[in-house]
Amino acid sequence: MNNARYPAHTDAGAELTALMLDIFRANGALLAAGDRLVAPLGLTSARWQVLGSIALADHALPVAHLARVMGLSRQAVQRVVNDLEGQGLVAFEPNPHHKRAQLVVMTDKGREAYEAASAREAPWSNALAEGLTAEEIAAARRVVIALSRRLEDHP
């Protein structure tokens, strides 16, 4: 990469800065496309993401743990969980380990919504992956995961 745009950066630092800007743009596009994909189901990308975190967890978690898994603030996830509860997609259950931090569980209606979103996501994701190899995608994931871990370790 030409370091003229980032003269104080090493070559790797300049590439990483460019990658971060690309990730920001991709995130915005991904959220907008996700919103369009699940809007007919009464969901948003944020609601779909929270439902996914609940569905993929090994056991019921409180909001703070969901937020940690998602890399978001507890307050942001709490707002979405409250919206989902208002829609009847999740419910709160007592947490035997913490009296105030209730567990968030998906209702049958929530499970149906998540399964419907997943059914829309698979062909969409497959179409987006066209022209890319699984190995290329895995390499990109490794870089993003490494970056995420470094940011968690050294904010």
Determine how β-strand 103-106 pairs with β-strand 61-62: antiparallel
The pLDDT value given to residue 155: 66
The pLDDT value given to residue 153: 87
Q: What is the pLDDT along the chain (155 residues), one digit of tens a residue?
A: 557 788 899 989 999 999 999 999 999 999 999 999 999 999 999 999 999 999 999 999 999 999 999 989 999 999 999 999 999 999 999 988 887 889 999 999 999 999 999 999 999 999 999 999 999 999 999 999 999 999 888 86
The pLDDT value given to residue 25: 96
Domains of the chain: 11-153 (1.10.10.10)
Contacts from 121-128 at CB under 8 Å and sequence distance 24+? Answer: 121/37, 124/33, 124/37
Cα atoms in the Cβ-side hemisphere of radius 13 Å centred on 76: 11
Stated pTM of the model: 0.85
Largest CA distance in the chain: 57
The pLDDT value given to residue 3: 72
Handedness of CA 116, 120, 122, 125 (dihedral sign): negative
Instruction: Compute φ and ψ for 130, nearest 5 degrees.
Output: -55, 135
What is the 3-class SS of 97-134, one letter each residue? CCCCCCEEEECHHHHHHHHHHHHHHHHHHHHHHCCCCH
The pLDDT value given to residue 116: 97
